[in-house]
Amino acid sequence: MTPVSTSTATVDKDWWRGAVIYQIYPRSFQDSNNDGVGDLKGITARLPHVARLGADAIWISPFFASPMKDFGYDVSNYTDVDPMFGTVADFDALIAEAHRLGIKVMIDLVISHTSDQHAWFAESRSSRINPKSDWYVWSDPKPDGSPPNNWLSIFGGSAWAWDARRMQYYLHNFLTSQPDLNMHNPQVQDAVLDAARFWLKRGVDGFRLDTINFYFHDKQLRDNPPLSPERRNASTAPAVNPYNFQDHIYDKNQPENLEFLKRFRALLEEFPAIAAVGEVGDGQYGLEIVGQYTSGGDKMQMCYAFEFLAPEPLTPQVVADTQAAFRAAAPEGWACWAFSNHDVVRHVSRWGAEVVDRQAFAKFLSAVLLTQRGSVCIYQGEELGLTEADIAFEDLQDPYGKEFWPEFKGRDGCRTPMVWDSLAHHAGFSNGETTWLPIPVEHSLNAVSVQDGKEGSVLEHYRRFLQFRRQFPALVKGDIAFHIVSDTQLAYSRLLDGQEVLCLFNMSPAEDRIALPDGEWDMLEGHGFEAGLDDAKAILPGWGAAFALRRQTV
């Protein structure tokens, strides 16, 4: 194997701090072979869009060999590309083109579980005495034949599935076809680290680690205690899911994970300028775990919890409280924030159901996200202001949605194909007969072709604001200090090495005036928002923003 060159530019080990990472869901980005499903060649062809947007990196959701029961998050071979997406050679070409365009490449690594069709599991389930018999979490039943404890699957029902060959239960925190690896076994740790090393040698710049807090389970298999109703938080699972009724102190979030994450970080340090961001899936202890996983400089560079992915409305207080809670939990850590991804309702719909001017709302939210202290993930289509698609049950693909329909409709509404050309077949996503998910008409009307070059469009706003952001190091890597947090007004500064950028937001549809903090300020332009200034107060239209630079005194 010939490793792909990581970059011709000077190595910057700190590139991830304040980076804007564009998430690509490969099934839905671009189809190059007309089968209605996106693929690696399609991603490569569309990388200029990402480069022009101004993102620093891409995160590609899983493209490994998989039976696709959970659309790639059930891996059957960690070191091969699923034929649906192409070949390893196609991935090498993608890496080369991304690096040519100055884009880092991060890939989604799913090592808490595999597919039940992985060769490791096939061997493990064959007997109780084979070399991989302890590579997954197996347990005898209780005397009455029931599962060993009360742990629940996020996808519904018990987290234990019976296997007739071994006459034992195996653990699955997700689908029954996604058995959990036994990370207490050092051989399993070695195997998943070898899988990561395979892709590092091919030139990837980092990883997004799926469900990072699920890697280890309690060896004693103790029951989870119940969670009181007032502590239930639907950010990990939809409110209709009984998973929220337990306090998950034994089936995940185990202290042994810290030592493994040190091993993982040591592997990253063998290569130049590699970064990892971990997904912490926990509604009660998310930020506390983020603090643990990013502390000490020897584990994860970044993690994210679900605070900004939750259904609760985004308010000035939520923004301030989230930043304060992160600082308290992770004083040494660095966050990676997102408002949308492939698992949650798109934020323009999630928070803007009653908003009249969705375009202004989308632009406003982008500015809030892109001025937070931390790195940022943008989910494909977010830069077009796309709303959540309404998918009919007969078109539904997501097993999660099928299980809890109609109270929870699953994740397909945010996974519909990207819209490139409003006049082209399937909006330019595919020339095939059908697409794996339908493309809403309202999405086609907001395609890249419609917004490209159009003054005031959401797409042009994202491009402009990302360019504006890069001009001020304080907005990228600086600290944050809050000035005003009211029902509708939000004001904070980003500060770095003597530079202070003031960010003012009117989080309401009506015009408002926001006072500037004491001092001398120069109002900034070039960010896409219009604001007036009167008697040291910024005059902001509904869903408006303004930015100012504190004048340096000699």
pLDDT in tens, 265-287: 999 999 999 999 999 999 889 99
Strand partners, 375: 336
**Average pLDDT taken over every residue of the chain:** 95
What pLDDT shows up at residue 3? 46
What pLDDT shows up at residue 234? 62
List CB contacts of 276: < 8 A, sequence separation 6 or more: 206, 207, 208, 209, 264, 265, 268, 300, 301, 302
* Cα separation, 485 vs 153, whole angstroms: 39
What pLDDT shows up at residue 547? 98
Q: Longest Cα pair distance anywhere in the chain, in angstroms?
A: 79
Paired tokens of 516: 């500037």
pLDDT cut 70: percent of the chain above it: 98
> Which of the residues 210, 251, 279, 282 is marked catalytic?
210
Cα 177 from chain centroid? 23
Mean of the pLDDT values across residues 138-160? 97
* Cα separation, 26 vs 28, whole angstroms: 5
Whether 270 sits among the annotated catalytic residues: the reply is yes
For residue 135, pLDDT over 60 is answered with: yes
Whether 452 sits among the annotated catalytic residues: the reply is no
Cα distances (angstroms) measured from residue 217 to each of 86, 159, 173, 255, 284: 35, 12, 10, 9, 17
What pLDDT shows up at residue 283? 85
Q: Do 225 and 244 contact (CB within 8 A), yes or no?
A: no
What pLDDT shows up at residue 5? 43
Q: What residue has token string 């990990």?
A: 236
pLDDT tens by residue, 429-469: 999 999 999 999 999 999 999 999 999 999 999 999 999 99
Q: Do 123 and 131 contact (CB within 8 A), yes or no?
A: yes
Check residues 495 and 399 and name the one with the higher pLDDT. Answer: 495
List CB contacts of 287: < 8 A, sequence separation 6 or more: 305, 307, 325, 326, 329, 330
> How are beta strands 160-163 and 168-171 bridged, if at all?
antiparallel
Paired tokens of 89: 């050679």
What pLDDT shows up at residue 4? 45
Task: Name the nearest CA neighbour of 261 among 324, 322, 333, 325.
Answer: 333
Domains of the chain are: 20-113+187-468 (3.20.20.80), 476-550 (2.60.40.1180)
Q: What is the pTM of this model?
A: 0.96
Cα distances (angstroms) measured from residue 117 to each of 167, 173, 470: 19, 16, 45
**Residue 202 phi, psi dihedral angles, 5° rounding:** -85, -5
For residue 352, pLDDT over 80 is answered with: yes
> Which of the residues 144, 270, 394, 534 is marked catalytic?
270
pLDDT tens by residue, 473-506: 999 999 999 999 999 999 999 999 999 999 999 9
Buried b (16+ CB within 10 A) or exposed e, 367-403: bbbbbbbbbbbbbbbbbbbbbbbebeeeebbbbbbeb
Q: What residue has token string 């899936």?
A: 281
What pLDDT shows up at residue 305? 83
* Cα separation, 219 vs 548, whole angstroms: 54
* Cα separation, 103 vs 29, whole angstroms: 17
What pLDDT shows up at residue 235? 63
pLDDT tens by residue, 417-432: 999 999 999 999 999 9
pLDDT cut 90: percent of the chain above it: 92
pLDDT tens by residue, 206-243: 999 999 999 999 999 999 999 998 888 766 788 889 99
Packing angle, helices 286-293 and 257-268, rounded to 10: 50
Dihedral over alpha carbons 63, 385, 339, 370 (to 10 degrees): 110
What pLDDT shows up at residue 277? 97
pLDDT tens by residue, 79-129: 999 999 999 999 999 999 999 999 999 999 999 999 999 999 999 999 999
For residue 253, pLDDT over 50 is answered with: yes
For residue 263, pLDDT over 90 is answered with: yes
What pLDDT shows up at residue 432? 97
